[in-house]
Amino acid sequence: MNSGTLIGIVTFVYLGAFGLSITGLATGKRELARFVLIAALAGFALHSAGILLRWHESYALGNGHVPLSNFYESLVFFSWATVLVTFVGIKGQARETVLAFVMPGAALMLGYASFSPGVENAIQPLIPALKSNWLAIHVITCFLGYASFFVASVFGIIILGSSRPAEEMHALGAMFYRCVMIGFIFFTVGILTGSVWAQMAWGRYWGWDPKETWALITWLIYAAVLHERIRGGGMTRRVAVFSLVGLASVLFTYLGVNYLPGLHSYF
């Protein structure tokens, strides 16, 4: 079995977990939560194996490199990172709720990567611009940042959808803050490593390339989220709204920028 098939299977495992999860939420059968967790964990294990297998396959082809070098590989990693953040960052009952949002998101990314004819999934050798030790650390930190922001906005949606005042939802507010903060740190490292790499490759650490500018826009919006949280004295509905604006910016930074001319055309 090759990594592509394995990743394709993971898509359906995540979809299954999502199905179980909404069934559990809709029928109130709490015992289903355990199976959601098992399915998600199984999917995550296969997903990790798929990434490692693809890495191995690239070596077998004679041009071995970390599988983080094109759009397909970035989708697979983004999806993996969201599930990872959910398992590592969220504890207890909240994880069940978050999984109900993360599973379809992760499946959608994998499904798009695996089944869209527009996404090239062949393993290609690295072009000279990508042959750098900064590639892995830059891409990994950026996507862990994106993934944490994604999970944070799940809390944003839950808080906005609830009839209770945001200020009273202390546990959710604390988890929201944790995700934003961890995302902010990863994303900052991503931008900094990106600028070091840009300095090595192009001789300028910042050049207002659309991807760079959009990364800054996303970073500024999350800076605003953090400041608004202090200003408002904790979690408020406005903070939650800002975080959703942030998510839109994350998605545009990742996907939308490809439609603008720039130097980040490989992702």
Partner 1 sequence: MNGRNLLRMLSSLKLTVALLFCVVIICLIGTAFPQDGVSALAHSHVPGIASLLSPYDIFHSIWFIAAGILLCVNLVLCMRGRLNLKRKNLLMLLLHVGIILVVIGYSMGSLSLEGFIEIPEGTAVSQAMLKKGSAYDLGFSVRCDRFTIERYTNGMPKEYISDLSFLKDGAVAGQARLMVNHPARFEGISFYQESFRDTFSASVTVADSKGVKTYRMLQGEVIPLSPDGTRAEVVKVWDDLMRTGPAVKLKISGPSGEQYLWVFRDLKLLKERMPGILEQMPGFDPSGLRPYTFSLESLDASPATGIGVKRDPGAPVAAVGGVLFLLSLLLLLAVPRVNAGREKGREKIPIAQRKPSGKRTEGCREGTV
* Long-range Cβ pairs for the range 63-68 (8 Å, 24+): 63/123, 63/124, 63/125, 63/126, 65/125, 65/126, 65/135, 66/135, 66/136, 66/139, 67/123, 68/135, 68/136, 68/139, 68/140
Nearer to partner 1, 23 or 93 (CB): 93
Nearer to partner 1, 21 or 236 (CB): 236
Considering only 55, 87, 112, 205, the residue that binds partner 1 (CB under 8 A) is: 205
Q: From the CB of 11, what's the least distance to partner 1, in Å?
A: 29
How big is the chain by its Cα radius of gyration, in Å?
19
77 and 8 Cβ atoms separated by less than 8 Å: no
Half-sphere exposure of 20 (CA within 13 A, CB side): 20
Nearer to partner 1, 119 or 200 (CB): 200
Q: From the CB of 201, what's the least distance to partner 1, in Å?
A: 5
Q: From the CB of 82, what's the least distance to partner 1, in Å?
A: 21
Segment contacting partner 1 (CB under 8 A): 6-14, 73-81, 153-161, 230-238?
230-238
6 and 50 Cβ atoms separated by less than 8 Å: yes
Considering only 125, 165, 255, 265, the residue that binds partner 1 (CB under 8 A) is: 125
Alpha helices in 116-209 (DSSP H): 134-161, 170-202
DSSP 57-92: HHHHTT----S-SSHHHHHHHHHHHHHHHHHHH--T
Q: Does 220 interact with partner 1 (rule: CB under 8 A)?
A: yes
Nearer to partner 1, 157 or 228 (CB): 228
Nearer to partner 1, 17 or 209 (CB): 209
Considering only 199, 248, 255, 265, the residue that binds partner 1 (CB under 8 A) is: 199
Q: Does 90 interact with partner 1 (rule: CB under 8 A)?
A: no
Collapsing DSSP to helix, strand or coil, 249 comes out as helix
Q: From the CB of 33, what's the least distance to partner 1, in Å?
A: 24
Q: From the CB of 35, what's the least distance to partner 1, in Å?
A: 31
